[in-house]
Structure 1
Amino acid sequence: MKQLLLLSHLLLGLFIPASAQIDTINPTTSKLNLAAFKESKRTYAVFFEDSTGKRLTSADLWDRTVRFSTNASGQKIYQFDWRWYRKDTLISQVSATGLAPSLAPLSHNATYHNRGDRNFIFTGNTVTIPEASRKTAKDSTFKVVMTPPAFEFPMDLEILPLLPFKKVGQQFAIAFYEPGSPTSNYYKLTVTGKEDLPISGTTKVNCWLLQIDYGQQGATATFWIADQSREVLKMREYFRGRYRYKIKLY
């Protein structure tokens, strides 16, 4: 999974030029276009190709759902569900919650086929493993203070379209945290273009092109984000010597 590749990345400040004009985004800045954060269900096909465009794998399916509700304290929260299917088998499921409108995470519960569960809770910017999920001494002592405050990285496809796009050349620094990793990080994002993306027959959708720098040499991805609907329609990512694609089906 892409997220596992990011655990040891350098902090953004180490690889962004000091002279760059960068808009810093985290749950405390209130800069996201939250009008575009709506209840939704989207399915993506995910597959690999080599540098010549030869398909290397069959496609996995990702079902991703966002719903809104209210918690016991009367706070509005989001509920995020991500189900990963491979050859009709559910190989992982992530269920997460967070506060709205800040999108600060509250909980993360993951189940992996043949690997068990990994659960985390967020108290402010502090991440721990809930007592009922602690299986080892390491689990009991696990504690991460997110510096900077960060969004949940598994929700990148839902959060990146909320950036305040205005023009080609814009740069952002967005804070993400991969549950279980030792730190949160800023990641550099650049709006590299705007183009019409063919999606079916003669139908085209005008999209912003957003590139993320993962902080390792050659580790980047480009997202095609629909200007009107503000959703990721396509992603192309360099991943371990191959190219991974995520294509929205419906």
Structure 2
Amino acid sequence: MKQLFFAISLLVSSLLSAQAQIDTINTNTLKLNVSAFKESKRSYAVFFEDSTGKRLTSADIWDRTIRFSKSATGQKTYVFDWKWFSKDSLIGHVTTTGLLPSLAPLTHDATYAKRGARNFVFDHNIVTIPAASRRTAKDSTFKVVLNPPAFAFPMDLEILPLLPVKKVGQEFALAFYEPGSPTSNYYRLTVTGKEDLPVGGNAKVNCWLLKIDYGQQGAYATFWISDQSREVLKMREYFRGRYRYKVKLF
């Protein structure tokens, strides 16, 4: 009996130790490396392949820009602007603003060719639809309390490189919120390796490999993040038997 109790105690201790090693990060913890969050413009080619590597689509282009500003009260803020082009047509335009250094979102305005416009405001982790954008009774009653306090999910390419990555095997629980969804969630991320990524010609860039678990069976992605510049150079995402790639152009 004593041996059984000892074995159970060891198992519980091991599980608690493993849990303690997961670094929990949200907009309140201030654990991100915001010194790497800089004004910038990056463009990505986005395309799909099947499990054999056969290209399934032509590439869309994502232009993503970060610039800094200040609120009327002098608070430092950021502006994230994302334009999504498909076959030379603008099919999506997203603008998110937020606070520095927490990166907590303040506003989110999105217009998609097929889904229309959606606008949200954030006030102390409470998300609502601004009065001018309410079109239905559901819009008027829309209210989400961000628990956990979360980053805007459309900014994943900009936020993931800010994680305090130092070694292979590190694990993070990072809070994201997809504007319009009913809740925010933690997503499990693991530093799975480090390797040189070919970027053209004979050039290579040393990158951390960061894997995200989307919380759905068989849905995950790996990001190649430059160790020096702290930016995503490549992403490979698997879902429902096919792969989506995001590759930085310039």
Aligned: 1:45 with 2:9: no
Q: CA shift at 1:239, angstroms?
A: 2.4
Partner deviation per Cα, 1:22-81 (whole Å, 9 max, x = no partner): 001111111111110000000000000011111000000000000000011211000000
Taking the aligned partners of 2:74 and 2:109, their CA distance within structure 1 comes to: 22
Normalising by the residue count of structure 2, what TM-score does the alignment of the two structures yield?
A: 0.92
Q: CA shift at 1:116, angstroms?
A: 1.7
Taking the aligned partners of 2:68 and 2:241, their CA distance within structure 1 comes to: 38
Taking the aligned partners of 2:36 and 2:199, their CA distance within structure 1 comes to: 21
Partner of residue 110, structure 1: 110
Taking the aligned partners of 2:28 and 2:196, their CA distance within structure 1 comes to: 33
Partner of residue 214, structure 1: 214
The amino acid across from 1:86 in the alignment is: S
Q: CA shift at 1:87, angstroms?
A: 0.1
State the SS of the aligned residue for 2:77: strand
Root-mean-square deviation over aligned CA pairs: 0.8
Partner of residue 182, structure 2: 182
Q: CA shift at 1:175, angstroms?
A: 0.1
Moved over 4 A (4+): none
Taking the aligned partners of 2:114 and 2:155, their CA distance within structure 1 comes to: 23
Aligned: 1:223 with 2:220: no
Partner of residue 7, structure 2: none
The amino acid across from 2:134 in the alignment is: R
Taking the aligned partners of 1:234 and 1:136, their CA distance within structure 2 comes to: 40
Taking the aligned partners of 2:240 and 2:40, their CA distance within structure 1 comes to: 31
State the SS of the aligned residue for 2:183: coil
Normalising by the residue count of structure 1, what TM-score does the alignment of the two structures yield?
A: 0.92
Taking the aligned partners of 1:182 and 1:142, their CA distance within structure 2 comes to: 9
Taking the aligned partners of 2:73 and 2:127, their CA distance within structure 1 comes to: 20
**Number of corresponding residues:** 234
Partner of residue 135, structure 1: 135
Could you tell me which runs of 5 or more consecutive residues in structure 2 were left unpaired when the two chains were aligned: 1-14
The amino acid across from 1:48 in the alignment is: F
The amino acid across from 2:186 in the alignment is: Y
Taking the aligned partners of 1:140 and 1:75, their CA distance within structure 2 comes to: 29
Bigger helix fraction: 2
Partner of residue 198, structure 1: 198
The amino acid across from 2:87 in the alignment is: K
Aligned: 1:94 with 2:90: no
* Larger relative contact order, structure 1 or 2 (CA cutoff 8 Å, min sep 6): 1
Partner deviation per Cα, 1:115-153 (whole Å, 9 max, x = no partner): 321000000100000000000000000000000000000
State the SS of the aligned residue for 1:182: coil
Worse-matched range after superposition: 128-137 or 110-119: 110-119
